[in-house]
Amino acid sequence: MQDFLQTLGISEQLFNYLIMPLLIFCARVGDVSINTLRIMFMMNGKKSIVPFLGFFESMIWLLAIGQIFQNINNPMSYIAYAAGFGTGNYVGMYFEEKLALGRVLVRVITPNPLPELMEYMKEKDFRFTNVGAEGRYGKVQLTFTVMKRESLPEFIQKVKSLDEKAFYTIESVKRVSEDDLNVMDDKPRFNLSFFSKART
């Protein structure tokens, strides 16, 4: 290895304290990002892609941890490993948000009826239930609806435009009854060829 590095004009110190930590950092970002995506796909029932993500995640992790042991006296390796883990969480969450797979259950509680919101959900073909309920300060309107995550930002914006003090909660939904025969219908907001092939 040293002879090969010398032919490239790279000193051993440069490799040990810059290039190797950078490689460890990138590997850790990759495996943590894949781990985040793997959990997301698993929670949404995407069985075809989860094993492949798990394979690459473990392979990258083994490569990274192997380099740590080979450079156990190099403090930069530890810093790169930890920094890669933190950055990988952020990158994984970013891609998870962009993919926007799955459905969410949204509960909206308002003190007064919002007929405009009902009409909006009908126009968007959302399935919903609206019931009267009793709150701490009196009567309230409780609306339940399940929608694809990609529709959530627009829906929340609509709710706030009608009642900026509306109280709402959001929960992930693994499966709804209409998906019993096919849980692979959800598509991300942007196309990745690898994910597209894995869903077919």
| Selection from 67-81, 126-140, 176-190 with the highest mean pLDDT | 126-140
- Pick from 49-58, 67-76, 93-102 the range whose average pLDDT is largest: 49-58
In this prediction, residues 8-27 reach a mean pLDDT of 78
Burial status of residue 21 (CB atoms within 10 A of its CB: 0-12, 13-18, 19 or more): buried
Write the pLDDT tens digit of every residue in 84-96: 999 999 998 888 7
Checking if the pLDDT of 159 tops 90, the result is yes
**For residue 184, pLDDT beyond 60:** no
* Tally of residues, the chain: 200
Query: Could you tell me the pLDDT band of residue 102, with boundaries at 50, 70 and 90?
Result: confident
**Contacts of residue 156, Cβ cutoff 8 Å, sequence gap at least 6:** 168
Q: What is the pLDDT of residue 172?
A: 79
pLDDT on residue 144: 92
Give pLDDT tens digits for 160-174: 999 988 899 998 776
CA distance 186 to 198: 13
Please name the residues in contact with 167: beta carbons below 8 A apart, sequence gap of 6 or more. 108, 109, 110
Return the pLDDT at 193: 46
For residue 55, give both structure tokens: 């394979």
